[in-house]
């Protein structure tokens, strides 16, 4: 039986399908943590396919790297510092008030009519260094203020913001999903940044700006009542305080305490841009300056870990210490920001292990043979698998790492260029965000923060994510025909 499974394409593909079914069953029905579910399904696939114990977990006498060690260690060693540094950078930008500065400046330039686009751009820019849910927590009050002043549906202002945050979260480093996809497919992050922007920006414009403007006029959602009440009380309190302002002014001038100065928009933009620019210079330096003596320096500075370390140190000083934030508070901020990413990294590691098993058992080679016979492009398969996993279990991260593990052997079997592999990674990321619905935690965050019923959230947010996914994939598939 094991012999047949190891050498028959049909048997290997059946095993892969069964292991994915087991994974989904454990996550959806048993409610097992995705990290544990990935481990269990990966181990089951390895044993069923006939891998030896030594190959799977190693032995005390063996010096050969096991599939378990190779899966976890290989990918986590690559992405853990990138995700960690990106998380700290986002936390400092949030604490410094960079989001407020960015959003208010965009709103002042765009005016009332351009406010929805301004919110979208705020999500797009601020979404690069911060997690999707953190971006919502920080920027939602600004959406409330804008919607209240504009007197129109909250949906009109929220959807562009959500599209910007979702696009960067799905397509751009240092977010866990795209970084994991790049690590699994072994493609430089510079190419992922380039094609993430090329494919993601049109998707953002169609889903956030065009769709947001259309549906925002048809689904009316009011600003949360508790926020309006709180703002009204605040305004009354401020009005009462105005009567005593003259008397208090003399006292205030004698006090030594001064509020932290607001960071400039240029400084916030610089901090966000530095790591992206350094990574891009390192990626394309080998093409543009192949014989230049500066290439080793560019390569070092443009390593994602080095580039993000530089950005974090600059942010700590320019946005923190220089503005009066104590070093101890910055240290506590960094520690606090890293706590939520532990499970994310474990899930990514579990997915990498599952992918390593797929490769070691020969499933990837069998799948490559089947695809070659059927004539189905790898980029299409990658998108469809990611869509199926996303729809079934809800987590974009699980969809990305599982799909990446399945597709990685196919990519290695073909002589694809780095740009083409980056487009496959974009296709996986696009598939991982399609049709967010009730099994996705993000669905409920959005429903709660933007005062929407389940029905309204399905009509607005779920459709937005589907458009973002389809347009992003269409761009990647189109570009792949020329590269």
Q: Are residues 314 and 374 in the same domain?
A: no
Do 307 and 356 lie in a common domain?
A: no
Kindly state whether residues 30 and 88 are assigned to the same domain: no
Q: Are residues 401 and 311 in the same domain?
A: no
For residues 302 and 284, is the Cβ–Cβ distance under 8 A? no
- What pLDDT is recorded for position 240? 47
Residue 87 has pLDDT above 60, yes or no: yes
| pLDDT tens for each residue of 122-151 | 999 999 998 888 889 888 888 998 898 888
Residue range 235-270, pLDDT digits in tens:
545 444 544 544 454 444 444 445 567 788 889 999
- State the CB neighbour count (10 A cutoff) for residue 137: 13
Residues 379 and 324 in one domain: no
Predicted model pTM: 0.83
Show the CA angle centred on residue 236, arms to residues 230 and 238, nearest 5°.
100
Check residue 5 and give its pLDDT.
Answer: 45
Decide if 461 is inside a domain.
yes
354 and 472 belong to one structural domain: yes
User: Is 357 among the domain residues?
Assistant: yes
Q: What does the block give as tokens for 229?
A: 């009440």
Q: What's the whole-number mean pLDDT along residues 159-183?
A: 93
Judgement on whether residues 300 and 348 belong to the same structural domain of the protein: no
| pLDDT band at residue 16 under the 50/70/90 scheme | confident
CA-CA distance, 49 to 30, in Å (whole number)?
24
147 & 230 share domain: yes
What is the C-alpha separation between 25 and 389, in angstroms, rounded?
Answer: 12
459 vs 240, higher pLDDT: 459
Please check whether residues 320 and 349 belong to one and the same domain. Answer: no
Residue 64 Rama label (left phi>0; alpha psi -120 to 50; beta): beta
Pair (165, 279) in one structural domain: yes
Q: Is residue 363 part of a domain?
A: yes
If one counts the domains in the chain, the total is: 2
What is the per-residue DSSP string for 372-383? Answer: HHHT--HHHHHH
Note whether residue 275 is domain-resident: yes
Cα separations in angstroms, 198 against 203, 295, 384: 9, 26, 21
CA distance 211 to 213: 5
pLDDT digits (tens, 9 = 90+) for 381-436: 999 989 988 988 888 888 898 888 888 888 887 889 999 999 999 999 999 999 99
Residue 49 lies in a domain: yes
331 assigned to some structural domain:
yes
Residue 58 placed within a domain: no
Which of the listed residues 338, 371, 400 is the one where a domain comes to its end?
A: 338
Q: Which of 338, 353, 369 is the last residue of a domain?
A: 338
Q: How far apart are CA 73 and CA 94, in angstroms?
A: 31
The per-residue pLDDT of the chain, averaged, comes to 84
pLDDT at residue 258 in the model: 54
Q: In this structure, are residues 178 and 425 in contact, taking their beta carbons and an 8 Å threshold?
A: yes
Contact 209, 467 (CB under 8 A): no
| Domain shared by 329 and 352, yes or no | no
Reading the block at residue 305, the tokens are 């870990």
Residue 125 belongs to what domain range? 84-174+190-199+224-237+261-338
- What mean pLDDT comes out for the span 160-164? 96
Can you tell me the mean pLDDT for 94-113? 85
Where b means 16+ CB within 10 Å and e means fewer, 340-361 reads ebeebbbbbbbbbbbbbbbbbb
Choosing from 338, 368, 385, the residue where a domain stops is: 338
pLDDT at 212 over 90: yes
Let me know if residue 270 belongs to a domain.
yes
The 10 Å Cβ neighbour count of residue 75 is: 25
- How far apart are alpha carbons 351 and 393 in whole angstroms? 14
Same-domain pairing of 306 and 332: yes
């Amino acid at each position: 039986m094991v012999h047949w499974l190891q050498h028959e394409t049909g048997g290997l593909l059946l095993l892969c399908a069964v292991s994915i079914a087991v994974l989904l069953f454990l996550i959806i029905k048993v409610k097992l943590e995705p990290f544990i579910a990935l481990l269990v399904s990966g181990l089951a696939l390895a044993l069923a396919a006939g891998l030896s114990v030594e190959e799977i977990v190693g032995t005390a006498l063996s010096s050969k790297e096991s599939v378990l060690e190779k899966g976890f260690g290989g990918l986590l060693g690559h992405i853990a510092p990138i995700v960690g540094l990106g998380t700290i950078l986002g936390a400092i930008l949030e604490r410094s008030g960079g989001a407020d500065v960015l959003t208010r400046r965009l709103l002042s330039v765009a005016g009332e009519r351009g406010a929805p686009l301004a919110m979208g751009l705020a999500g797009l820019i601020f979404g690069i260094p911060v997690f999707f849910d953190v971006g919502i927590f920080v920027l939602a009050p600004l959406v409330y203020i804008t919607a209240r002043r504009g007197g129109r549906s909250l949906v009109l202002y929220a959807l562009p913001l959500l599209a910007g945050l979702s696009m960067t979260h799905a397509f751009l480093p240092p977010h866990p999903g795209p970084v994991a996809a790049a690590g699994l497919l072994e493609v430089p992050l510079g190419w992922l940044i380039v094609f993430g922007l090329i494919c993601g920006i049109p998707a953002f414009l169609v889903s956030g700006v065009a769709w947001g403007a259309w549906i925002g006029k048809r689904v009316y959602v009011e600003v949360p009542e508790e926020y309006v009440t709180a703002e009204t009380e605040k305004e009354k309190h401020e009005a009462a305080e105005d009567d005593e302002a003259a008397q208090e002014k003399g006292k205030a001038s004698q006090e030594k305490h001064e509020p932290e100065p607001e960071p400039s928009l240029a400084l916030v933009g610089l901090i966000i841009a530095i790591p992206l620019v350094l990574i891009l210079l390192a990626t394309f330096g080998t093409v543009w300056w192949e014989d230049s003596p500066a290439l080793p320096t560019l390569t070092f500075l443009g390593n994602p870990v080095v580039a993000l370390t530089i950005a974090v140190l600059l942010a700590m000083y320019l946005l923190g210490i220089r503005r009066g934030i104590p070093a101890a508070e910055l240290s506590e901020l960094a520690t606090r920001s890293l706590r939520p990413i532990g499970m994310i990294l474990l899930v990514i590691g579990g997915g990498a292990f599952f992918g390593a098993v797929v490769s070691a058992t020969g499933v990837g080679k069998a799948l490559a043979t089947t695809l070659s016979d059927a004539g189905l492009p790898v980029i299409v398969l990658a998108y469809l698998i990611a869509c199926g996993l996303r729809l079934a279990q809800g987590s974009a991260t699980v969809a990305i790492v599982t799909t990446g593990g399945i597709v990685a052997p196919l990519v290695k079997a073909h002589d694809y260029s780095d740009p083409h592999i980056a487009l496959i990674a974009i296709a996986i990321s696009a598939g991982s965000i399609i049709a967010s619905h009730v099994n996705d935690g993000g669905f409920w965050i959005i429903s709660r923060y933007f005062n929407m019923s389940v029905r309204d959230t399905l009509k607005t947010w779920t459709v937005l994510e589907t458009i973002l996914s389809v347009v992003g994939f269409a761009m990647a598939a189109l570009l792949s025909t020329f590269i």
